[in-house]
Structure 1
Amino acid sequence: MIHQKLPNNWQEREKLRDKGQFWTPEWVTKAMISYIVKDTDLVFDPAAGKGAFLNALLQINPSINYYGIDIDKYVLEDEIYQKNSCFVELRDFIKNPPQKKFNAIIANPPYIRHHRIDEKMKQFLKELFIKITGFTIDGRAGYHIYFFVQALNLLDKNGRLAFIMPADTCEGIFAQKLWQWITKNYCLECVVTFHENATPFPKVDTNAIIFFIKKSEPVQIIKWIKANEANEELFNFVKSDFKDTNYITLEINNRELKEGLATGLSRPKQNHCDFKYHLNDFAKVMRGIATGANDFFFLTTQQVQELAIPEEFLKLAIGRTKDVTGDKLTIEDIKKLEENNRPTILLSINSNDNISESVANYLEEGEKLGLPDRPLIKQRKLWYKIEYREVPPILFAYLGRRNSRFIKNEAGVVPLTSFLCIYPIYDDELYIANLCEALNDPETIKNLRLVGKSYGSGAIKVEPRNLDKVPIPEHIVDKYNLSRQKYKTKSQQLELF
């Protein structure tokens, strides 16, 4: 579930992350409750928590009964659950759901990312998803996705569901397949997004989105809302059955479902026909190097000297986006990092031939640490042979809040997975410089939101296959001469001599 106040203590925060517990503010719960209480005498909450939705229900219509379940017995001991119209029980909604349908379902489901789910549970979730939908979903779907689908499966005919979810519900690699199934079998009435200044969860690194869904015939036009301030206007709008539209802080749009699914329901409406050029017309994108153990493979100059590792086994590298402060990375920048004892050197071994004694000794230490058994590393034929990457002329910060996310790699480093590698189709230095300028143009940067996954405080994460698709405005392409075939690759230039 995505409590108004999160603990400052890191360990306590991590416990919440493992359970996926983040509580919903009242101005949001009241709006969600107002949607589902029509024509029902019972509200079902499969992730009851400390009773945020029950509190809203008691304010709006205390005569309606409330049934809540949760796997955390401590939250169910809250005083709010001592009401006569309320019944709660300790129950696992995924493994042991109620054996009945409901007319009104509401939840802020546990927000647990896929890497926090163990393999046994992942297999269970996979089988559950197939049982309900008839198809598989990508394994990178978080726990909240399965919670969502389980709840939809328990929705009775003409019943209503209100769920608040992270934006990746619409942006993940699984999203298109998921929403095609949902909108074929259910009626998606309204989607509510939030401006970063009105986010319901300001201390959680994700953007929230609310879905209002009925178990009825699908519609082709939906309401798409952006809440720009945290106030009662959202409640009033939902209470009106989405009919009243005269609000100051709400952006209210009628939107074609087909376009919304193509763009992503978390993103504003787009006219996809407007985009003639995309990044993959001018460059190839690859992710940075995944070592599987940065603390072992990514070294400081002091460590390299102490270990006496020969130069042929080393490559200049960059690991953290915060280590790059501008839109250029130079050798001077690398030297400053070295002076601050930041790692800048990657241990890169191409084979098991001619390994020096010092490297062999270091690898032996890695084996004692159990590195060959780490999930990513044990997939390699030689556990210490990491991925190879040509030096990319341009880097892209994988997850960032800065306006300039494209970095001209003048230092000649190879990046780790905090960056994506961008390889322009031409090696000409002028072309590379122009492409970098075009990518950092505010209009291009703005388009990252069309292909990226949005997080809290305006952060965007763009996967390699999605960065390929970022649109570059046609006039920007013309401004920087990107479409003119006058540039020669280095190999073509050599052929002239």
Structure 2
Amino acid sequence: MPHITVRYFKRLAVPASYSTVKVRYVDLLEPGSFISSAGQGTVFIRCTSDDLNPLEHKPDFPTSEFHITVCDEANLNFAEELLSVLRQFHWCIRLALPKRTRLETTDVRPRNPRGAARRIVLGARARRLFKEISGEILTWRGLDNLTEGRRLKLARSICRHLESATRSHPRIPDCGSDADRSSETASSHSEAAIHLTPPELAREIARYTVKFIDPSVRIQFGDPAIGTGAFYSALLQVINPDRIESAIGVDVNLAQVAAARARWGHRGMETRAGDYLHMERLPGRNLILANPPYLRHQAIEPEYKLKLRQRASIVHRDPVDARAGLYVYFMLLTHAWMTQGAVAAWLIPSAFMDADYGRVLRRYLTREVQLIRIHRFRADDPQFENAKVLPCVVVFRNHEPDPHLSIELTAGGTLSRPQSSQEVTMDLLRQSDKWSVPMPERQYGEAGGLRVGDLFEVHRGIATGANQYFVLARTEARRLGLPDAALRPLLPKARQLPSDVVEDVGDGYPNIDPQLCLLDCNLDEDQISAKYPNLAKYLSLVKSKGVLDRTLVRERHPWYRQERREPAPYLCTYMGRGTNGSPPLRFVWNKSQAVATNTYLMLYPKGGLAETIRQDPSKARALFEALQGTARDTISEGWRMHAGGMYKIEPGDLRRVRIASSPSWLRGALDANASVATVGSTLGTRREW
């Protein structure tokens, strides 16, 4: 059935407003075509509608235009001939639609090339029109048996009829392509980093932000990563368009620039192609609305990254961490584009609030501008169709910060209806090493409370580089004849632990089924061949799988010897979500001699504390109870929340977390003048390899 696809929904809900939209007309602009990845041709009629443009959102096809498909997946010769026929006729026609024309929601199912078409009902009106145009009776059998020549002739007849029937319809001047769209491709910034802003989210951000601009002031709009123009579209909907004095959108992606120009050029937006991050002397803007690319630092070309770091660091006199994502540079370098008093709203990852690389943005927002609000969305409430990211909206004014003004921190729900709200002072944000929503009343860096790092050495678990070869079930290791001397007891992942207290079965292995072991040996391969032929055979098999191509494995000597870690009496899960009211990250009391992989952080009591537990083993349980209270009450000071409701904590962050309860004996243990090794457990025997 001929139709125009306006939007695809996968993760997001269909807004209720879509069911009430009235579509007054559609402009048929010109025929076009493209070649599929399978080498087949699709021919279509490009079209547009000012009623549909604000609703369009197809993130998997970011530069796709509205179109009506004429022929899908045909051989290339036929597609070219059909396109030639269509181009013989004059298009640029405005078609008025019936007053009751509305959008419809359709489930998209896997395609059935033969059967899908036959489910379309050929209505009486279609049959009458076909008879009038061709003089033939319309049936599926007849259509299936049409030769390519007959199809081309029929297409020509239909176009003649359409041209005749629309002679009195309005014509759209200069509506053809101003460029060869088929040749336009992205020139920088990975497509994977492009997450187009859904129309309803763009509207909400625009509606909120323009409130901070005096209604008598005309707006000079700017978007440094315009994409297809979602924010400009939103602005046109939330204010009187006559209030917009000028609008500039910039993008490095040529195809998106062309798409934005086609959609919004006639509505007053100037689009510029180029790398915004290295542009100079752009006309000042008093309103910035932006959703910059979320390109991670690993994907930024090293030389390009170096230039960005130098440029941003010089402009702001503040070094930018090499781990900063591309959005950090966009935000910092856009400061020069803002006029004094200008207002900006940025839709960016919320990771800057607690990541080390985000420190430069946190300083910028508290020392160079007047921060107005930060709204962070919930981890289980996706905002994008094609991105698993935990975003936030940051709103600020280009004005010297006023320490007496409060900043609004909100979370969950929507920008207009948040689930939680908190007002904080500028001083609190300046003094806080990390930000969260809500901000805790006490920061973990404050004096007066014991921290995890005061009590423990904290280290990551063992990174093997190839768990599928170095982590084995104990029964499998026995079947392969691997020697006990090359195996270490290993804890399973936290979700496989039956309890947070891990008992020892008597030989160092945990009381868990199945028991796991870690392959770890410091003998060279010749010694292994002579002493342990079964182990040599297994290592040869592992090597044949290409394991030495992995950097972590290749750089070890010998390559099958693991990092030096002793069994830790306490561990903290590195990541988790939490279920049934339990905290997402938790502590484990390990009474066995098992080590752990890097899904855990390993905690080794420091000297005085280790000696206290050695003298009074009952203190081991009391210490574990203190850690459990920490997991419930204060570990949130150090964790980072990621998309999908995942929480993670790094060793340095765990060290700074406050212990929820600090009994007097615990403080006394720190003062003990004991000469005990700080790394390694005094609760078990060190194993020599």
Superposition pairs for residues 41-440 of structure 1, below 5 Å? 41-61=219-239, 62-63=241-242, 64=244, 65-73=246-254, 75=256, 77=259, 80-81=263-264, 83-94=266-277, 96-97=278-279, 99-100=281-282, 101-117=284-300, 119-194=302-377, 200=383, 205-221=388-404, 222-230=406-414, 232-233=416-417, 251-267=421-437, 268-272=439-443, 273=446, 275-301=448-474, 304-305=477-478, 307-318=480-491, 320-324=493-497, 326-330=499-503, 335-337=512-514, 344-352=516-524, 354-356=527-529, 357-402=533-578, 403=583, 405-425=586-606, 426=610, 427-428=613-614, 429-440=617-628
* Residue 30 (structure 1) shift: 3.0
Distance 1:81 1:254 in 2: 39
1:19 corresponds to which of 167, 189, 193: 193
Distance 1:190 1:88 in 2: 29
The corresponding residue for 2:634 is 447
Distance 1:141 1:262 in 2: 19
Q: Residue 336 of structure 1: SS of its match in structure 2? A: coil
The corresponding residue for 2:651 is 464
Distance 1:214 1:287 in 2: 41
Distance 1:330 1:74 in 2: 61
The corresponding residue for 1:237 is none
* Residue 291 (structure 1) shift: 2.1
Distance 1:203 1:331 in 2: 46
Is the alpha carbon distance of 1:81 and 1:464 closer, same or farther for their aligned partners in structure 2, counting shifts above 3 Å?
Answer: same
Is the alpha carbon distance of 1:288 and 1:18 closer, same or farther for their aligned partners in structure 2, counting shifts above 3 Å?
Answer: farther
TM-score by length of 2: 0.58
Higher deviation after alignment, 20-29 or 310-319 = 20-29
Instruction: Summarize deviations over 1:158-208 as a string: whole Å, max 9, x none.
Output: 332211222221211233344335533333333333455767459965433
Whether the 8 Å CA contact 1:259–1:270 is kept in 2: the answer is no
The corresponding residue for 2:663 is 478
Is the alpha carbon distance of 1:493 and 1:36 closer, same or farther for their aligned partners in structure 2, counting shifts above 3 Å?
Answer: closer
* Residue 437 (structure 1) shift: 1.5
Instruction: Summarize deviations over 1:212-266 as a string: whole Å, max 9, x none.
Output: 22332122244122144326357xxxxxxxxxxxxxx552414133445415233
* Residue 308 (structure 1) shift: 3.6
Q: Residue 226 of structure 1: SS of its match in structure 2? A: strand
Distance 2:589 2:191 in 1: 36
Give ranges in structure 2 of 5+ residues lacking alignment: 1-6, 13-59, 62-188
Distance 2:394 2:293 in 1: 16
Distance 1:98 1:322 in 2: 53
Distance 1:17 1:297 in 2: 36
Q: Residue 66 of structure 1: SS of its match in structure 2? A: strand
AA of the residue aligned to 2:520: S
Whether the 8 Å CA contact 1:18–1:116 is kept in 2: the answer is no
Higher deviation after alignment, 391-400 or 432-441 = 432-441
AA of the residue aligned to 1:265: W
**Which of 1 and 2 has higher RCO (CA within 8 Å, sep 6+)?**
1
* Residue 286 (structure 1) shift: 0.8
Instruction: Summarize deviations over 1:355-392 as a string: whole Å, max 9, x none.
Output: 34444444445555554453444544544433111111
AA of the residue aligned to 1:413: A
Distance 1:381 1:136 in 2: 37
AA of the residue aligned to 1:478: P
Is the alpha carbon distance of 1:312 and 1:146 closer, same or farther for their aligned partners in structure 2, counting shifts above 3 Å?
Answer: farther
Structure of larger gyration radius: 2
Whether the 8 Å CA contact 1:159–1:214 is kept in 2: the answer is yes
Whether the 8 Å CA contact 1:315–1:413 is kept in 2: the answer is yes
Q: Residue 289 of structure 1: SS of its match in structure 2? A: coil
Whether the 8 Å CA contact 2:380–2:643 is kept in 1: the answer is no
Whether the 8 Å CA contact 2:224–2:250 is kept in 1: the answer is yes
Distance 1:351 1:121 in 2: 45
AA of the residue aligned to 1:230: T
Is the alpha carbon distance of 1:175 and 1:110 closer, same or farther for their aligned partners in structure 2, counting shifts above 3 Å?
Answer: same
Whether the 8 Å CA contact 2:318–2:360 is kept in 1: the answer is no
Distance 1:390 1:69 in 2: 55
Q: Residue 49 of structure 1: SS of its match in structure 2? A: coil
Q: Residue 425 of structure 2: SS of its match in structure 1? A: strand
Whether the 8 Å CA contact 1:394–1:408 is kept in 2: the answer is yes
Instruction: Summarize deviations over 1:433-481 as a string: whole Å, max 9, x none.
Output: 222221212x6533222222222354321110110111123xx2229x5
Distance 1:36 1:379 in 2: 56
AA of the residue aligned to 1:394: Y
* Residue 106 (structure 1) shift: 2.0
Higher deviation after alignment, 140-149 or 300-309 = 300-309
Distance 2:312 2:523 in 1: 43
Q: Residue 632 of structure 2: SS of its match in structure 1? A: helix
Distance 1:216 1:326 in 2: 54
Is the alpha carbon distance of 1:400 and 1:54 closer, same or farther for their aligned partners in structure 2, counting shifts above 3 Å?
Answer: same
* Residue 337 (structure 1) shift: 4.1
Whether the 8 Å CA contact 1:27–1:232 is kept in 2: the answer is no
Q: Residue 145 of structure 1: SS of its match in structure 2? A: helix
Is the alpha carbon distance of 1:375 and 1:420 closer, same or farther for their aligned partners in structure 2, counting shifts above 3 Å?
Answer: same
Whether the 8 Å CA contact 1:191–1:212 is kept in 2: the answer is yes
Instruction: Summarize deviations over 1:111-154 as a string: whole Å, max 9, x none.
Output: 23334445455444434443433454333322322222222343
The corresponding residue for 2:169 is none
Instruction: Summarize deviations over 1:314-343 as a string: whole Å, max 9, x none.
Output: 2222464433464234569874345xxxxx
Alignment identity in percent?
A: 22
Whether the 8 Å CA contact 1:315–1:414 is kept in 2: the answer is yes
AA of the residue aligned to 2:459: M
TM-score by length of 1: 0.78
Is the alpha carbon distance of 1:367 and 1:72 closer, same or farther for their aligned partners in structure 2, counting shifts above 3 Å?
Answer: farther
Distance 1:337 1:362 in 2: 21
Is the alpha carbon distance of 1:322 and 1:225 closer, same or farther for their aligned partners in structure 2, counting shifts above 3 Å?
Answer: same
Distance 1:350 1:395 in 2: 26
